[in-house]
A and B are shown apart, each in its own frame.
Chain A
Amino acid sequence: MPDRKRSRVAPTTITMLQEAVISARDHSYALCIRGAGTLDGMGGRVTADLDIHMTHLKGIAAFEPGDLTIGTFAGTTLAELTAVLREHRLMAVLDAPHPQQATIGGTLAGGWLGPRRHRFGRPRDAVIGTTVVMADGRIASSGGMVVKNVTGYDLSKLYIGSFGTLGILARVNFKVQPIPARIRAISARLPEHTRERVIERMQGLSGQISAALLIDGFHREIDGEDGSDGRLVVLLETSEILLEQATRDTRGALGQAGVPEATIVDLGPMDHLQRIIDAGVATIGERSITYRVLGDADDHERRSSQLSADLSRTGLRMERIVDACNGDLFVRLSDRDSRSFAGKLADCDEIVHQHFPRAIVVACTSPIRDQLTIWGEHPAAIEKMHLLKSAFDPDHRLNPGRFLEATTNG
């Protein structure tokens, strides 16, 4: 179905946002809430009358470094947040793609989960308060600027991962943490048949390391050049005193897993990690699709090898990133040209879901994307989610089509 003609607004204050929502309500307009679009590869296409661009509702609302908390407007970019905090050697660990563009609201609403969460916590655990504009135009806050709070229900949790379908995040408060003194990346080529052992060893070290990612493919995105397959990138974040010890431990563990050599990358280790995170949503024209599965890395390793075997008959190229510490798997499948890719997509989608029923699509620009099982198998409590949606947005005007809905209009 072609999009209806849309108008757009770009509020710079919460009051302006509220006015826009109220006026949309009065006109029965459906709303498409837009951040920077960095996670547009997730979720369905929104059919709306009015685009609300959130990128101008930005800035720091409150920051007292000694409290280890910060309040931000939702259109603030992740990079802006990082820069403000870094001046005080603090951080909020969101680890989402394209931080220069990505907004805080969009990243949270998209429920993005990054590789360092096993160590520093999930975004949901760092959010201590939110202010939301509801579908009917009410401004509703929950939580606050304190790190412990059981005053009323923890509604912030609901908005994180809601894809903007319950309310529009206008302000988000975080608790933040000190930046570790030293950061180092260690990279290695993985010899044949070492992956399972590497995953196991890295899981054993997960108290010391902040990320361990096994990468096949994604050369352009991560290394800027073609190279060999089977790389590992480990991120260490430690005190001054522990850095060398942690390096030795990591190298030792890799040696025991059959990886003889590992290189220290002290120059821009975070940039390196960021390129890997960005790669997770990178597309190759209209001829690639990327799935994400959460769960268990050791299991994924076996199952993704079987997937690879099953996909071989389609002739699609498979690339993958395995997050050993959290158990995430990113699989990108691509073809030489977009037309032949489109022809194989439905088949490939089915094969992927045979192996990973809960795989969701995180990146794909092929025109036939909407016909795929982008959300994988539905969560067990989907009916409760539908009830919640109807209670929060009875007329289904917030991002219609973006997330699983009880009745599909399209």
Chain B
Amino acid sequence: MIQRLTDALGADSVLHAPEDLAVYRFDGYATGATPGVVVLPRTTRDICAVMKVAKEFGVPVVARGAGTGLCGGATPGLGAIVVSFARMNRILELDIARRRVRVQPGVVNLDLSTDVARHRLFYAPDPASQRSCTIGGNIGTNAGGPHCLAYGTTTSHVLGLEVVDEHGEVFTTHIDDIGYDLTGALVGGEGTLGMVSSAWLRLTRMPQSVRVWLVAFGDIDSASETVSAILAAGIVPTALEMMDATIISAVEAVYHAGYPTDAAAVLLIESAGFEEDMERCQTDIARIARDHGALSWHAASSQRERDALWLGRKSAAGAIGSMTPNYYIQDVTVPRTKLPHALRAVEEAVRANGLRVGNVFHAGDGNLHPLIMYDKRNAYEVAAVVEAGTQILTTAIALGGTISGEHGIGSEKRETLGLVYSSDDLDPMLRLRDVFNASGLLNPEKIFPSGARCAEVR
């Protein structure tokens, strides 16, 4: 098989030395098995060739972007072919007038925005990992990010896809196609429905004016009630992020972002739009924050200060890493009015299991990310983190929420998918999977609980 892949792609695009393979076992969450081979395609044709070889030999194929995923989506099973898109990192076509761009899947998220900035455009979905994660991975997970509150997640920015299917054939989709919205169904497919070989994306105009505020609170409840109140007042900022005291002190220790270390929680709020609207927006948000007992209010006065505030937020997970040997990021969404309740429940679940938690999350979307600190070498703590994580999932569901807001199901949550969906709910999902992945070779053992098969009809 390796020979066949080498014939098709060239020796420099096929890795099979054990030391080369080892790094492809991981993503940001889990460790998989050692793959049999890693291929680095340069073109759509290369991907087709790989799929054909995979099919011929009956070997599973795992698509891989930057491997920053947090649900064990890109981790391979033993002997699998990992397809890394690292070399497919070109912007193929840029249509400035119509504000759209066609890119290869390996383009790094932030690189795209940086590249089109000269046209006063940007690519809106901005995961905190945007300095390394790829468009292919973002499409695979339907990634979100702080600014998705106003702009929507990845799925709202993908206009069309070129996909290599399980047989090694190419097909294309577009959201304007008549009939079934395959584009929408494929986004979030976690590599189980095909390999995205290029994508048409929507670009967004840079707003005329951007304001960033940092608001401090003496307790978490006040901060989360402020979030609900802002949205209830009909104000939708472009970002509405929350960090608790644990995160604030971790970030300050490492990045000196200028967060108040005496606060129990801060909200990082960004509004963007027309200059004239921003004053009013600021007044309204400040009033709501004051009514909810805000301790302090700080408006960033320069681009540099805005960047510093954002850098703190986007580096929070890294900063926590300096406080604990290991941490686990949970990802759940609840209806926004349930935020105060959800945060209390998270705190209780973690504390009851004898662990500590930091919260940094997309509060405006109700998307929680408790970072639970533990030590992998301590068996008790490992069990405790699993238990706390599961309790958070059940709490989110009980509050009318769900078990993943943006990270995906992957291998991590597949066995808990049944907490949200009945077997009847899962049935059409499995039918969709079986249409695009009848061979089962595309990223097997992901998303669906083990043993979940398309039940016979009738």
Nearest CB of A to B153, in Å: 6
The one of B165, B236, B367, B424 in contact with A177, judged by C-beta atoms closer than 8 angstroms, is: B236
Nearest CB of B to A285, in Å: 27
Q: Report if A141 contacts B (CB, 8 A).
A: yes
Q: Report if A222 contacts B (CB, 8 A).
A: no
Cross-chain contact A148 with B405 (CB below 8 angstroms): yes
Q: Interface size class for chain B?
A: 35 or more
Cross-chain contact A157 with B178 (CB below 8 angstroms): no
Cross-chain contact B153 with A155 (CB below 8 angstroms): no
The one of A136, A154, A245 in contact with B185, judged by C-beta atoms closer than 8 angstroms, is: A154
Cross-chain contact A66 with B428 (CB below 8 angstroms): no
**Interface contact tally, CB-CB below 8 A:** 218
Interface string of B176-205 (1 = CB under 8 A from A): 111111111101110001000000000001
Q: Report if B78 contacts A (CB, 8 A).
A: no
Query: In the complex, what residues of B have CB within 8 A of residue A389's CB?
Result: 180
Query: In the complex, what residues of B have CB within 8 A of residue A141's CB?
Result: 421, 425
Q: Report if A406 contacts B (CB, 8 A).
A: no
Q: Report if A365 contacts B (CB, 8 A).
A: no
Given A125-B152, A148-B148, A161-B178, are A153 and B401 neighbors across the interface (CB < 8 Å)? no
Cross-chain contact A145 with B400 (CB below 8 angstroms): yes
Q: Report if A112 contacts B (CB, 8 A).
A: no
User: How far apart sit A294 and B98, CA to CA, in the bound complex (Å)?
Assistant: 14
Q: Report if A241 contacts B (CB, 8 A).
A: yes
Interface core residue of A89, A167, A382 (most chain B CB under 10 Å): A382
Cross-chain contact A146 with B366 (CB below 8 angstroms): yes
Q: Report if B407 contacts A (CB, 8 A).
A: yes
Nearest CB of A to B128, in Å: 14
Interface core residue of B174, B280, B402, B403 (most chain A CB under 10 Å): B402
Near B by CB (< 8 A), chain A positions 94-136 give: 111, 121-122, 124-125, 132, 134, 136
A contact face: mostly helix, strand, loop, or mixed = loop
The one of A69, A121, A125, A161 in contact with B180, judged by C-beta atoms closer than 8 angstroms, is: A161
Cross-chain contact A391 with B179 (CB below 8 angstroms): no
User: How far apart sit A134 and B427, CA to CA, in the bound complex (Å)?
Assistant: 10
Nearest CB of B to A111, in Å: 7
User: How far apart sit A358 and B176, CA to CA, in the bound complex (Å)?
Assistant: 10
Query: In the complex, what residues of A have CB within 8 A of residue B232's CB?
Result: 65-66
- Pick out which of these stretches binds chain B: A184-192, A262-270, A372-380: A372-380
Given A146-B402, A149-B404, are A158 and B432 neighbors across the interface (CB < 8 Å)? yes
Cross-chain contact A391 with B409 (CB below 8 angstroms): no
Cross-chain contact A150 with B336 (CB below 8 angstroms): no
Nearest CB of A to B402, in Å: 5
Cross-chain contact A385 with B426 (CB below 8 angstroms): no
Given A124-B175, A140-B428, are A151 and B457 neighbors across the interface (CB < 8 Å)? no
Cross-chain contact A124 with B181 (CB below 8 angstroms): yes
Cross-chain contact A67 with B337 (CB below 8 angstroms): yes
Cross-chain contact B429 with A136 (CB below 8 angstroms): no
Nearest CB of B to A157, in Å: 3
What residues make up the interface of A, taking CB atoms closer than 8 Å to B?
Answer: 25, 64-69, 89-90, 111, 121-122, 124-125, 132, 134, 136, 138-142, 144-158, 160-163, 166-167, 177-179, 203, 207-208, 239, 241-242, 245, 294-296, 358, 360, 375-376, 379-385, 387-389, 391-392, 394, 403-404
The 3 closest A-B pairs by CB, nearest first: A157-B184, A178-B234, A379-B177
Q: List 20 A-B contacts (CB under 8 A).
A: A66-B337, A90-B234, A121-B156, A125-B156, A148-B366, A150-B404, A150-B408, A151-B402, A152-B409, A152-B417, A152-B421, A154-B184, A242-B277, A245-B274, A295-B176, A379-B178, A380-B173, A380-B177, A388-B182, A403-B179
